[in-house]
Amino acid sequence: MRPSSRTASQIRPVSITRNYTIHAEGSVLIEFGNTKVLCNASVNEGVPRFMKGQGKGWITAEYSMLPRATHTRSDREAARGKQGGRTLEIQRLIARSLRAAVDLKMLGENTIVVDCDVIQADGGTRTASITGACVALVDALSHMRTKGIIKNNPLKCMIAAISVGIFRGTPIADLEYLEDSEAETDMNVIMTDTGKLIEVQGTAEGEAFSFDELNEMLGLAKTGINELFDIQRTALS
């Protein structure tokens, strides 16, 4: 039995609110149960120096948790003077995944920055970030077409992400904090709505896992992510 009383494959109630703030070209509040992440997509002219002159665009991401998004207060990274390894790892993951969903040539020499700020954390902040960021990205791309910055939609597919893991010996989907902190294995899976994989990151926290367990987790991920695609579609329609 899960602390959340959910079945092994049951994901939390997910809610997506578009236009959550007024300034960003794409602004989405995504909630995976008690996990709440604000995903703001900003459109900027030009690309970073290393991309200049290639006629291609760029997508980058930044991730942060508000200091009291968690049970106990964490130090503010701006006050500490640097972003931690976990933060850098997550924002690299978000950006890489979003870029895999977009034809950068069709974006022209423009940059989209997606800020994922965790307002409240209860496990799965990186998967919620990616799932919400994709919707914010869709809105930012619509804005670009409306403004005539680009002509066609550079989006190749939708992407969404979910965490799966092995908790007290059983593979489960969409772990919340209590489950995550106790899980033997933690895996994040990012997929396209064309049924392919963008990223698989499985980590043995305590016990190594078998190939069979890996496959069971991948199956749970596939099912859960398909539910997320439905929710994204509803939000965007």
Binding residues for phosphate: 86, 124-126
Instruction: Considering only the stretches 6-14, 16-24, 167-175, 223-231, report the one whose residues sit in contact with its own copies under the rule CB under 8 A.
Output: 16-24
Maximum distance among all alpha carbons in the chain? Answer: 56
Q: Between 200 and 236, whose beta carbon lies closer to its own copies?
A: 200
- The Cβ of residue 87 has, within 10 Å, a number of other Cβ atoms equal to 15
Helix axis angle for 125-146 and 211-236, nearest 10°, is: 40
Angstrom distance (rounded) from CA 222 to CA 237: 23
Q: Which residues define the annotated binding site?
A: 86, 124-126
**Sheet with 35-45, edge to edge strand ranges:** 14-18, 26-32, 35-45, 110-120, 58-65
Confirm or reject binding of residue 42 to its own copies (CB under 8 A). yes
Confirm or reject binding of residue 206 to its own copies (CB under 8 A). yes
Q: Between 172 and 198, whose beta carbon lies closer to its own copies?
A: 198
Could you tell me the sign of the dihedral formed by the alpha carbons of 209, 213, 218, 220, in that order? Answer: negative
Name which of 204, 196, 116, 205 is nearest 156 in CA terms.
Answer: 196
Angstrom distance (rounded) from CA 123 to CA 35: 7
Letters for 56-95 (x = contact with its own copies by CB under 8 A, - = none) are ------x-x-xxxxxxxx--xxxx-xxxxxxxxx-xx---
Name the minimum Å distance from CB 3 to its own copies.
16
Which residues sit at the interface with its own copies, rule CB under 8 A?
A: 21-24, 27, 34, 36, 38, 40, 42, 44, 62, 64, 66-73, 76-79, 81-89, 91-92, 96, 100, 113, 115, 117, 119-120, 157, 187, 191-192, 194-204, 206, 208-211, 214, 218, 222
